[in-house]
Amino acid sequence: MSDGASATGDLRDTSLDGPTLNVRLSRVWGTPRGLLGALTTVDHKIIGRRYIVTAFLFLFLGGITALVMRLQLAQPESGLVGPDTYNQLFTMHGSTMMFLFGVPIGEAMAVYLVPLMVGTRNIAFPRLNAFSYWVYLSGGLFLWISFLLNIGPDVGWFAYVPLSGPEYSPGKRADVWAQMITFTELSGLAVAIEIIVTVLKQRAPGMTLDRVPLFVWALFVNSFIIIFALPAVMIASTFLILDRLVGTHLFNPAEGGDALLYQHLFWFFGHPEVYIIFLPGTAFVSAIIPTFARREIFGYLALVLSLIATGFLSFGLWVHHMFVTGLPQLGAAFFTASSMLIAIPNGLQIFCWIATLWDGRPVWRTPLLFVAGFFFIFVAGGLSGIMLASVPIDTQVHDTYFVVAHFHYVLIGGNVFPLLGAIYYWFPKFTGRLLSERLGRWNFWLAFIGFNVAFFPMHISGLMGMPRRVYTYGPEMGWGDLQLLSTAGALLLFASFVLFVWNVAASLRRGDVAGPNPWNAGTLEWATASPPPPHNFNRIPLVTHREPLWAERGGLPVVTGLSVSHRELMVSSVAEAEPQLRETSPAPSIWPLVAAIAVGATFIGSIFTPYAVLWGALPVAAALTGWFWPKAMPEDEE
Amino acid sequence: MAGLTVATGVVVLVLTGLSYAGQRRLLGEEAAPVTIRVIGHQWWWEVQYEDPQPSRGFTTANEIHVPVGVPVQVKLESTDVIHSFWVPSLMGKQDLIPGRPSAIRFTAERPGVYRGQCAEFCGMQHAKMGLLVIAEEQADFARWRDGQVAPRPEPASDEARAGEAAFVAAPCSMCHQVRGTAAAGRNGPELTHVGSRRTLAAGTLPTSRGNLAAWIVDPHGIKPGVNMPLVKLDSDQLNSISAYLAGLK
Amino acid sequence: MSSLLTRGLPSAGLYAGPMAWLVSTQANYALAAWSCSYQFPVIPLLAAVLAAVSLAGGVSSWRAYRQPLPADTTTVPAPDGSQVATLDGPEGGRPHRMIAAIGVLVALLFAVVIAVHGVAGLVFTGCER
């Protein structure tokens, strides 16, 4: 690679140094200011921040629906909300938490952090990234605006047929649910593809597969799960819309359809879905523990193995959601086997993490507190999960509050606690300021106590025979005291989130200023400024170790030769990350937004008439034509 | 590390084996002398007792009696959406899925009154779709069964007779059957011996003359969204019909 | 082809194990009703075959693990310049060996899961509902 400008005026970074390089790269990679810049940006950090904030907004909305439900159930025969409202509330709660928060937040953190951790300048397919955010936002708004206009869905987050079918759910409510699925799954698939390509082909030179951070491995495996699971629910929801709108009878037993087909399609997605929500939690834990244990992770190979095994096994569990549907016992037994045996890779992960802390010199800052909370809560949830895997036990506790307790333990324990720890950990990187440690401790303890007071009694409520999805219950059932206790815990848990938002708001303005690496961590995102410049790194690092910043304390070796006159990043080989190509990266573009609007209008229109698909294809095609219109690129000379 | 993993594996394999053993014991095939068909509706349970002699079969609603110590087979079907039959103290649950009939077996070991509730979200009044299973000694069960097979008892008072006439003339007879009268509707619960049941509206209200009246006057106040329409009756009709129904023991 | 058999393929276990298990899950579920009708232990037999497939993949991964591949030398020297780094050491740089080790363990795990499916086929006749 030659120094200085070549014949076509392409200036390389070899000759430039320090501030000059930073300024020139910031100009090339930066997003224009103002509204137009905001609408056209393809910077993964800006889009990632938007994703995170939007997902947290949906977390709050979902939390408010939960609070209303808990207030209703605090007393028997409460008249706070009627059955119609309650049915909408639990549908909105589940749908928001699972589709608008649980999956997107993992993708959000991946979009922001994976390119930084693998040492590249932007995520793969940056315009697709922008497009996926707009589609996600549209889907979420579509659901919530419908709810506020009293045409929100009321058939549960899973929307079983025949209840959600044309005969028993007239109107547009179930169609809103089904089409929201289409929005969010399109968005999820897009991000999954970007992550896989980024991780396989854009790693910094020297970052062989066994030097890839576990955070990245977890989100990489997660992306494969997303790609294979999401199509199943898209098919289920599309078939539902076809039955409702076009008059097919895919799920109508009177005309040769099968109501159980829906459940198979839904749960083939539904079980991997909960692992899609859990795996980012493992990513956060695997990143936080080495930093706060002050040693590299114990059992890297075992952890990668666990991630891969969990990813595959998660596809073999789905019938355990259908144990009481009258299927042959032999068939159910296969799924008991896989549901029980998945505890092996999950347990292996826990052992490795605990061993790292045991063998390290732990520093109990807030991120590590939340990880400790994760250990307790997730493992407790795993134990109730083992119980549920057994058919005889499940026939009693299926569809009771025992299951509600179980999945809140594994999802809040496995995703939300690590997520809060992750925000405390990476907030200085995102914003340049540290969150308050004092408020963080209050946040943690309030959340931990509130969570357990809210959800532990539900195990007992379920064992006392309380079914799910009931808007009220009689005083003679004896469930009232425990329900009141759960409500008290829920209020505490909600308060902890209010405290979290307070901490964020206050720290944004008055938090301690953070340098590039306030935690003395080892991975690449801490090698650049806080917050990172638009181009992430002045020069692409050369990686020789799993924890590059710990191995090269004197300063990272770097690769030189990338262009400074246009957006360029490095493409490398899959296993050994040998440099292969200098690849041009797209500049800001309006087409992702335009395409998202066209796609969104088509989706929304198609719940009213199938012709919307036909007519909508025209603006979508126009937008895609604009998007892919070839640009004249300066050809490489060597 | 390898040791811990192998230990986890062994524990999990043992639990799997125990689970299989439990499955076989609880859910295997066995003959059942008493067979009942339960058909789920939005938001009540139609109960049909089968008998080798067709004339000894009968239909009731929301309350099941079984003899103690005898295996009972319950065939499960649904006419509308998915429901789930569950009496926690007696057996695990199983879904009633339209187009997919299935069956469940249980044996009540001790006499008693056992409450059950629908355990699969089935719409607006899923929360109030309860049922009772009453396990009693063989002799009591046989007596109850004979009583249910018989047509309705003759109305005992003038008020009850007026009530029967009003019932048959009013829209009630379009949905409800009372064997021994002209009322032969099959849309709603069978009412031939409604007075003998302990609860009304699928476990929502204790049976009494007053509660029967309350239900007829305002079904949507008690169970918003039920399929039973509001039937306007004047106070005489209401009094006589509720007296009549309360007497249908 | 034969050199591939002797050399082994690091990812063989990663392909064979999960694929055999996926086939096992789907085929078993479909065969549950068949085995009730014909009262023939097709499921344990299928499980034995598929577990063998998984283990064969594991054997191929094991062979690859034992033989250091030329491509497995690091693209840059490890900090201390040595080539005898342990498999799990934090300096990394031996991705094919890691994939091979994972291939062996994944093949083993899935062989166990397939075997438990087979045991279910011995415990149940397929006619229980």
Model confidence over A106-159: pLDDT tens digits?
999 999 999 999 999 999 999 999 999 999 999 999 999 999 999 999 999 999
Give the integer Cα–Cα distance in Å for A342 and A101. 25
Q: Which residues contact B194 (CB under 8 A, 6 or more apart)?
A: B200, B207, B212, B245, B248
- Based on DSSP, count helices (H) and strands (E) in chain C, helices before strands: 4, 0
Classified as helix, coil or strand, B53 is coil
Greatest alpha-carbon pair distance for chain B in Å reads: 84
What residue has token string 């082994």?
C8
Q: pTM for the complete prediction?
A: 0.94
CB of A52 closer than 8 Å to CB of A105: yes
Mutant choice from B8, B19, B23 vs C, greatest count of C C-beta within 10 A: B23
Selected residue with higher pLDDT from C70 and C50: C50
Q: pLDDT band at A415, cuts 50/70/90? A: very high
Asked if pLDDT for residue A637 goes beyond 60, the answer is no
Query: What pLDDT is recorded for position A15?
Result: 80
- Chain B contact set for C117 (CB, 8 A): none
**CA angle centred on C99, ends C98 and C105, rounded to 5°:** 90
C85 compared with A18, residue with greater pLDDT: A18
Average pLDDT over residues A412-433: 97
Q: Are the beta carbons of B165 and B122 closer than 8 angstroms? A: no
Q: How confident is the model at residue C85 (pLDDT cuts 50, 70, 90)?
A: very low
The dihedral region occupied by A301, where left means phi > 0, alpha psi between -120 and 50, and beta the remainder, is alpha
Token couple for B198:
């302990």
Instruction: Name which of A168-172, B169-173, C77-81, C82-86 the model is least confident about.
Output: C82-86
pLDDT above 70 for A3: no
pLDDT above 50 for C12 = yes
**Residue A332 structure tokens:** 């159910």
User: Would you call the peptide bond into B45 cis, given omega within 30 degrees of 0 as the criterion?
Assistant: no
Question: Which pLDDT tens digit goes with each residue over A290-348?
Answer: 999 999 999 999 999 999 999 999 999 999 999 999 998 999 999 999 999 999 999 99
Q: DSSP code of A31? A: P
Which pLDDT value is given to residue C81? 59
- The mean per-residue pLDDT over the stretch A351-369 comes to 96
**Cis upstream peptide for B67 (omega within 30°):** no
Question: Would an 8 Å CB–CB cutoff place B16 in contact with chain A?
Answer: yes
**Cβ contacts from A onto B, under 8 A:** 158
Cα–Cα distance, B117 to B188 (Å, whole number): 19
Q: How far is C91 from chain A (nearest CA, A)?
A: 4
pLDDT digits (tens, 9 = 90+) for A169-221: 999 999 999 999 999 999 999 999 999 999 999 999 999 999 999 999 999 99
Report the gap between the CA of A405 and the closest CA in chain C (Å): 28
> pLDDT: is A1 or A22 the higher one?
A22
| CA dist., res. A513 & res. B3, Å (int) | 46
Q: What percent of chain A has pLDDT over 70?
A: 98
Instruction: Output the pLDDT for position C29.
Output: 86
B10 and A CB contact within 8 Å: no
Residue C98, chain A, CB below 8 Å: the answer is yes
Strands B112-117 and B102-107: unpaired
Look at residue C82 in the predicted model and tell me its pLDDT: 54
All residue ranges of chain B with pLDDT < 70 are: 28-29
pLDDT at A433 over 50: yes
Lowest mean per-residue pLDDT among A382-386, B40-44, C91-95: C91-95
pLDDT at A11: 83
ipTM metric? 0.94
Residues 6 or more apart whose Cβ sits within 8 Å of residue A429? A514, A525, A526, A530, A531, A532
CA distance A200 to A555: 26
pLDDT of residue B36: 96
B20 and C124: CB-CB below 8 Å? Answer: yes
B184 touches chain A (CB under 8 A): no
Nearest to C124 among B9, B24, B103 (CB): B24
* Domains detected in chain B: 34-149 (2.60.40.420), 158-246 (2.60.40.420)
